[in-house]
Amino acid sequence: MVTKVNYPLTAGDKGLTEISATGISPTLALIAGWLFPGAGHLLLGKWIRGLLLAISIVSMFAIGIALQGKVYSPNTGEPLDMLGFAGDLGSGLFYGLARLFSWGQAPVLVAVADYGTKFIVVAGLLNLVAAVDAHSLASGRKRS
């Protein structure tokens, strides 16, 4: 399937038409990449990049849970907790699994657990960046 992608080169330009051979909706790549790390890139045929992202993000999340890091919950009212929640939510389905199985609900009592909390948040933020990258690839705004 071939799709046409229009994007402006400058503010006054009407756009340049390119042919993209992916045939994957940018929205689908974004949502798939957010729900499961690397899935957006796998849909686009970027196998190595998708697998590297999946391995690194899942490993970071798993290390964070193994270090007894905190998984933030919504509506705590504290500004830093709300930012941590936004970062954790970036993990997609893994955040849902952590909440479902009560992973990361114990209070942080040791410094190692605080490192685990940071691993979990950074995994979510990296997953968001990867999902946006998949969207940019699918829409033609990024070449490779």
Direct distance between the N- and C-terminal alpha carbons of the chain, in angstroms, rounded to an integer: 19
Coil, helix or strand at residue 121: helix
Q: 6 pairs with which residues across the strands?
A: 17
Domains identified in the chain, total number: 1
**Above 60 in pLDDT, residue 3?**
no
> Which residues on neighbouring strands pair with residue 3, listed in sequence order?
20
d(CA 79, CA 58): 26
| Tens digit of each residue's pLDDT (9 = 90 or more) over 108-123 | 888 899 999 999 999 9
The whole domain housing 134 covers 3-139
Residue 78 in any domain: the answer is yes
Q: How far apart are CA 27 and CA 12, in angstroms?
A: 26
Nearest to 60 by CA among 108, 110, 117, 105: 117
Selected residue with higher pLDDT from 8 and 32? 32
Q: Is residue 70 part of a domain?
A: yes
pLDDT digits (tens, 9 = 90+) for 64-92: 999 999 999 988 788 889 999 999 999 99
The verdict on residue 45 lying in a domain is yes
126 within domain boundaries: yes
